[in-house]
Amino acid sequence: MDATLLQDLTEYGKDKNKGVMMAARSLIGLFREINPELLKRKDRGKIASMNLKDFKPLQYGEVRAMERIEGIELLEEYKKQSSLGDDEHKDEWAEWEIASDDSSGEEGWIDVPSDDDQDIVVSDSSDEEIDKNNVDVNEKNVNEEKVSTLATTQLLTPADFAKLNELKLEHKTEQIVDGGKRKRSSTQQNEPSDIIDVNTITGPRKKAKQDYEERIESIKAGREGREKYGSSKGKKVEGASTTNKEKARNKAFMMVIHKKNVLHKKKMSLREKQIQLTNRVNNKRKSRKK
């Protein structure tokens, strides 16, 4: 499928037919994962646009084997943070035991290395270049070893995979909020406590909701120095109020469409209309004679 055909199909995302609309939106969601380059910029989404630089689409017939579990480093970091408190507690007891053993034991001689035992190394410029190359190779190896080894050293349970999905979802939401620049919240890094912060429940928001008393105070402050609330039509000229007939004449038709007089006119028969017409003509004749 080329970009032109795909973009034409994605235009059906606002179609009135619900089935067509859902099919177009599911197609957009599929190509956000497969090949977001073919989509329009507005349909790519924030995460796909951010990962577009490092993204390489699969060619026809190409199969890319999974070398690692996606997001496994998030699970490893979470496990390290969760076990940090237990390790610190164990280290405190271990240090106390070591200190007590040292105080009860006898003091012995301390071996100090002499200068004669140290080897003297003479290096040339060529040796320094070789050392630099070795350092670069070692740095590359260290970077490769930084890849998470959790999947190869431990058996992951279904609970671990569920936690992994939860951490991936949190990581995606962090990327959407501020482009992945925000660090993890301090509540995750600190030790768990019984006190829960209100901001963790309500989440970030622009302005806190006002209480009832604060709203009343703001309303009263807005009324100061203002004329009394009401219609200003009859205040221009004193004693120049309008009648109910004039008000009814100026009313919108949708406001009086269900009134009894209007409904009666609609339901009048032909005989009733003839009687009304003759009465009107007779009244006009009588008024002329007078």
- Token pair, residue 61, equals 């017939």
Task: Measure the CA–CA gap between 138 and 253, rounded to whole angstroms.
Answer: 85
Task: Measure the CA–CA gap between 264 and 257, rounded to whole angstroms.
Answer: 11
Same domain for 260 and 176? no
| Residue 241 in domain | no
| Residue 161 in domain | yes
| Residue 183 in domain | yes
Band (pLDDT 50/70/90 cuts) for residue 254 is: confident
Helix (H) or strand (E) holding 46: helix 46-50
pLDDT over 70 at 77, yes or no:
yes
Same domain for 155 and 76? yes
Mean pLDDT to the nearest integer, 12-18: 86
Task: Measure the CA–CA gap between 123 and 131, rounded to whole angstroms.
Answer: 10
Band (pLDDT 50/70/90 cuts) for residue 187 is: very low
Provide long-range contacts, Cβ within 8 A and 24+ apart, for 207-211: none
Task: Measure the CA–CA gap between 235 and 227, rounded to whole angstroms.
Answer: 12
Handedness of CA 63, 68, 72, 73 (dihedral sign): negative
Q: For the chain, how far is it from start to end, CA to CA, in angstroms?
A: 90
Same domain for 188 and 265? no
| Residue 120 in domain | no
The phi-psi region of residue 24 (left if phi > 0; otherwise alpha if psi is between -120 and 50; otherwise beta) is alpha
Averaged pLDDT score across all residues of the chain: 72
Task: Measure the CA–CA gap between 164 and 76, rounded to whole angstroms.
Answer: 9
| Residue 123 in domain | no
pLDDT over 60 at 190, yes or no:
no
Which of 70-74, 182-186, 202-206 is most confident?
Answer: 70-74
Chain position carrying tokens 């279904």: 158
- The better pLDDT of the pair 82, 227 is held by 82
- The better pLDDT of the pair 286, 46 is held by 286
Domain span at 281: 256-289
Same domain for 76 and 46? no
- DSSP assignment letter at 12: G
* Number of structural domains the chain divides into: 3
| Residue 267 in domain | yes
pLDDT at residue 122, as a whole number? 46
CB under 8 Å to 262, separation ≥6 — which residues? 256
pLDDT over 60 at 125, yes or no:
no
- The better pLDDT of the pair 166, 97 is held by 166
Domain boundary among 192, 208, 224: 192
Same domain for 180 and 76? yes
pTM: 0.34
CB under 8 Å to 37, separation ≥6 — which residues? 3, 52, 55, 57
- What is the percent of the chain where pLDDT is above 90? 7
Domain boundary among 136, 162, 192: 192
| Residue 124 in domain | no
Question: What separation in angstroms does the CA of 98 have from each of 91, 101, 108, 110?
Answer: 10, 5, 16, 18
DSSP H stretches of helix in 146-259: 150-153, 158-178, 186-189, 198-202, 212-223, 244-250, 253-256
| Residue 176 in domain | yes
